[in-house]
Amino acid sequence: MIRKKMKNNNKLNCIVILLIIISIFFVERNFDAYIIRILNLCAIYIILGVSLNLINGFTGQFSLGHAGFMAIGAYTSALLYMSPELKEVNYFITPLIWPLSVIHLPFVFSLIIAGLVSAGVGFLVGAPCLRLKGDYLAIVTFGFAEIIRVVFNNLQSVTNGPIGLKGLPTYTNLWWSWGIAVLTVLVVKNLVNSSYGRALKSIRENESAAEAMGINLFFHKSLAFVVGAFFAGLGGALLASLVMTIDPNTFSFLLTFQLIVIVIVGGLGSITGTIISATIIAVLMELLRAVEAPMNIFGLHIPGIPGMRMLIFSILLMSVVLFFKKGLMGNKEWSWEGLFKKLFPRQREIKEGD
Amino acid sequence: MTFNAFLQNLSNGISLGFLFALIAIGYSMVYGVLNLINFAHGDIFMMATFFAYYAIAFFSLPWGIAFFLAIILTAVLGVLVDRFAYRPLRNSPRISCLCSAIGMSFLLENFAIVVFGGRPKAFFRPEVFTKVFTISGVRVHSVSIVTPIIAILALLVLSYIIYRTKVGLAMRAISRDFDTANLMGININKTIAFTFAIGSGLAGIGAILWALRYPQIYPYMGIFPGWRAFAAAIMGGIGSIRGATLGGFLVGVLTIMIVAFLPALAGYKDAFIFIGVIIVLLWKPKGLFGED
């Protein structure tokens, strides 16, 4: 019975992926660059949100270091896929150090290496810090992201310092961003539903009890951290290639904050919730741009107020935190069974009667 | 490096250290009673300078009254932040409180940008605070003399409140055991509000001394002092007043000394502070003076 259900689900999931592929074909042909850009951002937010949810929501380790991993991914990939000529143009104050200045890899490899480097750093940071619990972990990961930012600002011969990297080639398109978003969701979903995932959730619920049941805390926490950091690196690399300009201050705490908002609004420990909230927030941030433009209401001219967008955004966030304490989905997942239950309540009853 | 230059930097470092201590105590006290990192503390600090600025620039109050008023208003702001952002979440998981704190921080920053404008403003400095004394070759700014005096006075008043009054007893009881304190008939909400008032008031004092030292105020000015003070509070052991003072001191002296004696590494000073914090935490997971 369960196996049959799984097979059905797999079929339905394949159909959804097929639908995504068809709609990407359609969107790429028919929509303008602005909408495609927003859709790309949606996908990148999904990658980052889901990977942060794995650490914060499923494992219960409050990490504030996601922007640091993104910075590592973004810079690693950019340094690998930029052509040597472009590097020379960018590094006009301090030349880039030797091996990096001549390397020129295709986007795919730079992306994979970016993810791996980020995951490696995730392990190096995570291994000593995961001894700490709760707020202290939050502080240390936050400090780590800050250290990355400060070091990148000062390490001119590698990162070009505060000037940043400009004119990066745009490799990110809907295929890359949505492809990796689907990959992220699949990997995290399968991880969470495996025995590893159950171990992660038990760590979230009660660390001491989990340890007493024989779960290796260090291994499982590091696992969540490394997988999360890997996808954060990929997300950072995609983001860099989408916005074309990066500097260390792009990856400030504000970015981590936005991701945490996505995870909280969607619900800690819900992948589908994160997907929904990532999409809503990516679109909302664009729609709210209208607030800052000058307006005419009933002949009254209201000049645009800079900062209004972020003010409204933070008020929205506060209301979600205060009034919908569990986020949109809580820790529930949207599933095919749930949908069928809603669509065909009677059929369900008959089945139970059998 | 001459001895004089060392003394010069030391005097700078000490007065900066006292400033960090004043801010760090706010973090520490709130953590003590609520087990919550008050991310909005740095922004409460920022609001204090704007209160003082507008009291002087718009209502043309004499500076003494304006500063006093600003400190009171900051304390009220702290209580309001607690009332609207933290009190509704008293029984929720810690993670929602943390998010609420981060959200409050961004709300205050963006509020300041919309209402006060993002452009830096020049903070009014009364003449008393701009004099420079020269004591045997060491140039000392009068702010650097006033800061430690006011900070020490504030710390004395604070320890009197915490260790000699009934409210202080209630605060200590709550930080020891929240539920038992509640059962013993302590008015939890009132005591927490009082804690916020004191912590924010101290941040207000720190903010005004800060603005007298670096007379440029803008909505994001709270971020860096806030983070460094936060690092200081953790280093000293969050929840402990003694620890926060010592941590603030360490951070202040360290930042000045790194910039003065290792100018090549000046850009990395924030990294050094956080590396220091991480090392301290790995060595003593609860900070230097933390209780288990």
Give the domain CATH number at B257. Answer: 1.10.3470
Considering only CB atoms, which chain B residues are within 8 Å of A134? 94
- Mean pLDDT on A313-321: 83
Statement: residue B76 has pLDDT above 80: yes
Among A296-300, B117-121, B155-159, B250-254, which is the least confidently predicted range? A296-300
How far is the alpha carbon of B268 from chain A, nearest alpha carbon, in Å? 6
Helix (H, G, I), strand (E, B) or coil at B139: strand
Considering only CB atoms, which chain A residues are within 8 Å of B274? 143-144, 146-147
Percent above pLDDT 90 for chain B: 28
Statement: residue A4 has pLDDT above 70: no
pLDDT of res. A302: 67
Vertex B63: Cα angle to B57 and B67 (nearest 5): 95
Q: Do B94 and A260 touch (CB under 8 A)?
A: no
pLDDT of res. A354: 43
pLDDT of res. B136: 75
- For testing contact with chain A, the best of B36, B102, B230 (most A CBs within 10 A): B102
pLDDT of res. A300: 67
Buried b (16+ CB within 10 A) or exposed e, B173-205: bbbeebeebeeeebebeebbbbbbbbbbbbbbb
- Mean pLDDT on A295-316: 75
Whether A202 and A130 share a structural domain: yes
Q: Do A322 and B114 touch (CB under 8 A)?
A: no
Residue range(s) defining the domain that contains residue A123 = 33-253
Q: Does the complex come out with an ipTM higher than 0.95?
A: no
Q: Least CB-CB distance to A314: which of B37, B107, B118?
A: B107
Per-residue pLDDT band for B45 (boundaries 50, 70, 90) equals very high
How far is the alpha carbon of B8 from chain A, nearest alpha carbon, in Å? 27
Indicate whether B288 belongs to any domain.
no
The mean pLDDT of chain A is 85
Statement: residue A213 has pLDDT above 70: yes
CA distances from A138 to A54, A65, A89 (A): 15, 8, 39
CA distance B10 to A105: 51
B98-128 pLDDT tens trace? 888 888 998 999 899 888 888 899 888 888 7
Q: Do B281 and A136 touch (CB under 8 A)?
A: yes
pLDDT of res. A139: 79
CA distance B135 to B260: 20
**More confidently predicted of B161 and B239:** B161
Indicate whether B289 belongs to any domain.
no
Statement: residue A105 has pLDDT above 60: yes
Q: Do B89 and A322 touch (CB under 8 A)?
A: yes
Expressed in percent and rounded to 5, the helix, strand and coil fractions of chain A are: 75, 0, 20
Q: Do A257 and B102 touch (CB under 8 A)?
A: yes
End-to-end CA distance of chain A: 13
Considering only CB atoms, which chain B residues are within 8 Å of A159? none
Indicate whether A270 belongs to any domain.
no
Whether A15 and A78 share a structural domain: no
Residue A135, chain B, CB below 8 Å: the answer is yes
pLDDT of res. A187: 93
- Mean pLDDT on A126-155: 82
Q: Do B113 and A311 touch (CB under 8 A)?
A: yes
Q: What is the total count of domains within chain A?
A: 2
pLDDT of res. A138: 82
Whether A13 and A69 share a structural domain: no
pLDDT of res. A89: 83
Considering only CB atoms, which chain A residues are within 8 Å of B94? 134-135
Per-residue pLDDT band for A353 (boundaries 50, 70, 90) equals very low
How far is the alpha carbon of B87 from chain A, nearest alpha carbon, in Å? 10
Whether A2 and A45 share a structural domain: no
Per-residue pLDDT band for B141 (boundaries 50, 70, 90) equals confident
B153-208 pLDDT tens trace? 998 999 899 889 999 999 888 888 888 988 998 899 999 999 999 999 999 999 99
Q: What is the total count of domains within chain B?
A: 1
From A253, A281, A312, the end of a domain falls on A253
Whether A20 and A89 share a structural domain: no
Question: Which phi and psi (to 5°) does residue B133 adopt?
Answer: -100, 150
Whether A143 and A37 share a structural domain: yes
Statement: residue A349 has pLDDT above 70: no
Indicate whether A349 belongs to any domain.
no
Residue range(s) defining the domain that contains residue B130 = 3-283
How far is the alpha carbon of A145 from chain B, nearest alpha carbon, in Å? 10
Considering only CB atoms, which chain A residues are within 8 Å of B271? 146-147, 150-151
Predicted TM-score (pTM) of the model is: 0.85
Indicate whether B201 belongs to any domain.
yes
Per-residue pLDDT band for A1 (boundaries 50, 70, 90) equals low
- For testing contact with chain A, the best of B110, B262, B277, B288 (most A CBs within 10 A): B110
Sign of CA dihedral A325, B26, B280, B250: positive
